[in-house]
């Protein structure tokens, strides 16, 4: 499951991984400046440190950092490993305009990317795995070979490739799985993982045929199909609308334990359904009503009423 900045923090990872069937999930990126990250920040952002760096259901978590200072990234990686991280990922893929000299902006500087990966790898003990997340390039897909060679240093286990450039952002028509096909030979000792619009079993099958990848990173599709990993790996039936609504009940219950106000809890429940309805348009009428909810009790009542209505209609059919 992808890092999903702003979406998949600890409580949301708890819910999504419990159903997802993922082999691995990622923390949201932790921004590293010219100062090493503090232990307090790591534990606050990654509650999984208290559970052997796994989500409550047992899904392994990989700690992801974003920054442009090789030394402080390396020191932060070592600190995370000492807290229990079994693997570290460096983010060169985030295209946010709020991320300046880091993330996907560094795709313009392959030498610095290479230095970061070498410095972090040298600082970590061999048993701590290292990976990177990149895009096909900054402005042009022709940059992809240079990007891969920059991060495929000795000791890097995996490279996830979002199949768009930074310039493309998340444009639907810019997605290009085919550009990954010839990149494998440039990273002979690392596994390439395909990322970008893999939201169903059909997508994964097609992506594998085009990219020659056997591993996939799934992102926002995890909201519309909370059991997406099981769907791709085992051919399970995607969650029904009822299952999605029940998952949102869990979102409320989990976030209610850690968020101080009802508004914050309901905002996350609305966020969950908001992303789910992008792919499951039949949720739209209920979502419009649900968005007017203010209290947790009202939200739960609406969800349970809609679940009962859906189940009744299903039994009638």
Tell me which residues are annotated as active site: 94
Residue with tokens 């290479």: 114
Bridge partners (DSSP) listed for residue 159: 132, 192
Angle between helices 296-316 and 262-279 (to 10 degrees): 30
Distance CA 153, CA 135 (A): 17
Q: Which two tokens stand for residue 118?
A: 């070498």
Largest Cα–Cα separation, the chain: 63
User: DSSP string covering 212-251, please?
Assistant: --S-EE--THHHHSTTHHHHHHH-PPPP-HHHHHHHHHHH
Distance CA 93, CA 101 (A): 12
Instruction: Report the half-sphere exposure of 184 (CA within 13 A, side-chain side).
Output: 15
Using CA atoms, how far residue 12 sits from 17, 113, 205, 231, 247, in Å, is 8, 30, 27, 19, 11
Distance CA 95, CA 90 (A): 14
Distance CA 281, CA 85 (A): 38
Bridge partners (DSSP) listed for residue 129: 87
Using CA atoms, how far residue 170 sits from 36, 50, 163, 186, 315, in Å, is 31, 34, 10, 25, 40
Q: How many CB atoms lie within 10 A of CB 53?
A: 20
């Amino acid at each position: 499951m992808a890092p999903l900045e702003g979406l998949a923090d600890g409580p949301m990872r708890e819910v999504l991984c419990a159903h997802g069937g993922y082999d691995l999930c990622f923390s949201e990126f932790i921004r590293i400046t010219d100062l090493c990250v503090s232990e307090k920040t790591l534990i606050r952002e990654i509650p999984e440190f208290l559970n052997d760096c796994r989500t409550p259901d047992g899904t392994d978590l990989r700690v992801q950092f974003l920054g442009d200072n090789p030394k402080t990234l390396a020191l932060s990686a070592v600190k995370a490993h000492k807290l229990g991280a079994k693997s570290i990922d460096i983010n060169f893929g985030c295209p946010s305009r709020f991320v300046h000299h880091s993330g996907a902006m560094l795709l313009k500087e392959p030498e610095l990317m290479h230095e970061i990966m070498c410095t972090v790898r040298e600082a970590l003990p061999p048993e701590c795995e290292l990976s990177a997340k990149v895009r096909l390039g900054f402005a042009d897909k022709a940059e992809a070979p240079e990007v891969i060679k920059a991060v495929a240093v000795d000791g890097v286990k995996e490279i996830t490739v979002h199949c768009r450039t930074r310039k493309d952002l998340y444009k639907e028509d810019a997605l290009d799985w085919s550009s990954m096909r010839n990149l494998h030979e440039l990273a002979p000792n690392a596994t390439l993982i395909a990322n970008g619009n893999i939201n169903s079993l059909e997508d994964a099958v097609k992506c594998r045929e085009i990219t020659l990848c056997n591993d996939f990173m799934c992102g926002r599709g995890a909201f519309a199909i909370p059991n997406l990993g099981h769907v791709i790996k085992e051919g399970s039936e995607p969650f029904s609308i009822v299952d999605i609504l029940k998952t949102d009940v869990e979102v409320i219950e989990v976030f209610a334990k850690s968020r101080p106000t009802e508004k914050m809890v309901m905002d996350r429940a609305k966020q969950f359904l908001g992303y789910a309805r992008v792919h499951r348009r039949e949720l739209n009428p209920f979502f419009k009503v649900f968005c007017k909810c203010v209290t947790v009790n009202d939200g739960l009542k609406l969800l349970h009423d809609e679940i009962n209505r859906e189940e009744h209609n299903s039994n009638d059919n």
